[in-house]
Chain A
Amino acid sequence: MTASITVRRQKIRKNHTKKRLFFFMILAALLMLVVVFAEQICPYDPNAQIFSVLEPPSAAHPAGTDRFGRDMLSRILVGLQTSVLSTLILVVIITVAGTVIGVLCGHLGGIVDSFMMRVSDVCLAFPGLVFALAIAALLNGGLQNAIIALAVISWPKYARIARSQTLALESTDYIAAARLAGDTSAQIILRHILPNSAGPVLVTAILDIGTMMMELAGLSFLGLGAMPPTAELGNMMSGGRSMLQTYPWVIIGPGIAIFIAVVIFNLLGDTVRDYLDPRNSRRQ
């Protein structure tokens, strides 16, 4: 009796999560559409300095204009494109690099494993953003270098997850069976270990998109990421810092854009995690 009720409840919950997941996926897809077609949908040329400067939001310029007389809405859209695409590139880099390192460490063991894990210890033993700041500065700023800086400090988390997954899988009977059947290491890794350890790594990756976007924008805000005149949300806000008192829209517009994008990615991440791990969702 109680058992069947619990099962039914779980089913309802799962269905509910499925609906939420579907909804947030659509939302994220819409955001991605805006990002990909930013240049097509922005009302004006984002770099054209043709309007009167620092106009407050109006019907013609819903987000106002900046100090060079550029349309803010167009710049926000293009800036969003820069921010989101570079974040996605960053997340792909750390996911792939972390997984490759983690799986290899778990599979090979020995010196390689202990060396890489000590390196990751050092990276994890250190407040990430500070290190990223220093690396980005030492590499002389620029969007590409900001991505490298954040990648250098962020891969260990993924390597840890992939490694522990690999270690758990290595001790299962079916891997032993595959090995007995004559599979090579490469075959075992590609056919069994990678597909089976992908889940947790992917969830972490999706959950990280929002944070990474904020950190990347933070580096740009400090002048260590995308350089003007490239429109990027962080450097747009940094450029408007001195005008906060009299022309707040120059800052608030890009800020809201980052906020909305991060909220969408975080909602998607939370829901994906709930969907794949229902046990966790009750507690979190």
Chain B
Amino acid sequence: MRKYVAHRLLQLIPILLIITFLSFGMMRLAGSDAVLQKMENTGMVVSQEVIDAARAELGLDKPFLTQYFVWLGNLLRGDMGTSYISGQEVFPAFISKLPATLLLTAVSILLTVVISIPLGVLAAVKQNRLTDYLIRTASFLGNSMPNFFVALLLMYFFAIRLGWFPVISREVNLQNVILPSITLAIAMSAKYLRQVRATVLDELSKDYVTGAKARGIRFSVTLTKSVLRACLVTIITLLTLSIGSLLGGTAIVESIFMWDGVGKLAVDAINMRDYPMIQAYVMWMAIIYVCVNLITDLSYRALDPRIRLGGARI
């Protein structure tokens, strides 16, 4: 068990190395760097010497591999560098934005679970009836809406028309988190609901369900005591897999609602070519993703002792 966790965490190292190397490489290929971007934004015309000096100051004049290894060496000493734009240290700046994103993520996941599991189970139980069709249609439509459109529609109706929520979230609190997390929850639930329905239907078609019915056990008892329990592993796996898409989605939604989290920080950094910041974001994503997958695997084990850790992998 401990060995398994250690092994999985060790896998993080090559993944992080490849990802940071790739993103570093692409920054080099990009052709435009923070210095040029800054000049463009201020609209100043500056001589080549000034640009070169600014580049030398940021270490952008050295060969690519040197830059990468310098960065890597600093990282090992716990130094992620300073932002090219604001001059702040990357690590503290990043950490300070983290709670907002975690709050948004947690509320969105909670909403997704509350919306999609009951509806998915209901659709499966009422298969091919009106309820099922309505739920499936809603999920289909939710799946076909880009999340930035959902965000803008919610903003228009609930913040502008009805005035229930502030249009721009100036501070991080529970009232402000509602619209962005509904946006994320709509997209996630639409996907997830279908999967819950399919899983439950699969389980319902098994022989033991018919057997229980023949023995006169009430359907509600079979459903709650056997079927849902058996579905739990799959449902949790699918949920954690969708956290990946949630993490990607937060960037867009955060920047629309001006939610002051790491997603917005990343989009701003991307627009300003603030490489150290982008690197921090990319690494954070990779770490979270590997950890989420590890927790999923461990929770299988807790829920279903038949599963062996480190067994068959696809």
Mark A residues whose CB is within 8 Å of B: 122, 125-131, 133-135, 137-140, 210, 214, 217-218, 221-224, 234, 237, 241, 244-245, 248, 251-252, 255, 258-259, 262-263, 266, 270, 283-284
Contacts and interface: CB of A to CB of B under 8 A. Distances in A.
17 contacts: A125-B286, A127-B248, A129-B249, A129-B251, A131-B285, A133-B267, A137-B271, A137-B273, A139-B30, A140-B31, A222-B252, A237-B149, A255-B146, A255-B153, A262-B144, A270-B140, A284-B198
Question: Chain B: interface residue count, which band?
Answer: 35 or more
Residue with the highest number of chain B CB atoms closer than 10 Å, among A122, A130, A135, A237: A130
B70 interface: no
Given A237-B149, A255-B153, A266-B140, A137 B278 contact: yes
B123 to A, nearest CB: 11
B148 A221 contact: yes
B282 A129 contact: no
A126 B289 CA distance: 7
B15 A125 contact: yes
A241 B273 CA distance: 23
A222 B256 CA distance: 9
A141 to B, nearest CB: 9
A138 B271 CA distance: 9
A245 B167 contact: yes
Contacts of B270: 133-134, 137, 224
A222 B250 CA distance: 13
B245 A127 contact: yes
A73 to B, nearest CB: 18
A245 B160 contact: yes
Contacts of A263: 140-141, 144
B144 A125 contact: no
Contact of A244 (B15, B155, B198, B201): B155
A259 B149 contact: yes
B247 interface: yes
A223 B141 contact: no
B29 A138 contact: yes
Given A122-B15, A135-B26, A140-B32, A130 B278 contact: no
B149 to A, nearest CB: 4
Nearest to A164: B314
Contacts of A129: 245, 248-249, 251-252
Contacts of B146: 214, 217-218, 221, 234, 255, 258-259, 262
B266 interface: yes
Contacts of A131: 282, 285
Q: Which 9 A-B pairs have the closest CB atoms?
A: A129-B248, A137-B270, A127-B248, A214-B146, A255-B149, A138-B26, A127-B244, A262-B144, A138-B30
B27 interface: yes
B144 A266 contact: yes
Contacts of B290: 125
Nearest to B140: A266
A130 to B, nearest CB: 5
B289 A138 contact: no
Contacts of A137: 270-271, 273, 278
A32 B148 CA distance: 24
Interface string B271-288: 101000010011001100
Interface string B192-208: 00100010011000000
A52 to B, nearest CB: 23
Contact of B23 (A127, A138, A210, A214): A138
A273 B144 CA distance: 17
Residue with the highest number of chain B CB atoms closer than 10 Å, among A126, A139, A224, A263: A126
Interface in B42-92: none
Contacts of B143: 210, 266
A127 B289 contact: yes
Nearest to A256: B149
A283 B120 CA distance: 12
B181 interface: no
B26 A218 contact: no
A57 to B, nearest CB: 15
Interface string B226-266: 00000000000000000011011101100110000000001
Contacts of A134: 23, 26, 270, 278, 281-282
Contact of B147 (A140, A218, A284): A218
Contacts of A234: 146, 148
Nearest to B200: A283
B252 A218 contact: yes
Nearest to B27: A138
Contacts of A210: 143-144
Contact of B251 (A133, A237, A244): A133
Residue with the highest number of chain A CB atoms closer than 10 Å, among B27, B144, B278: B144
A261 B21 CA distance: 38
Contacts of B122: none
A245 to B, nearest CB: 5
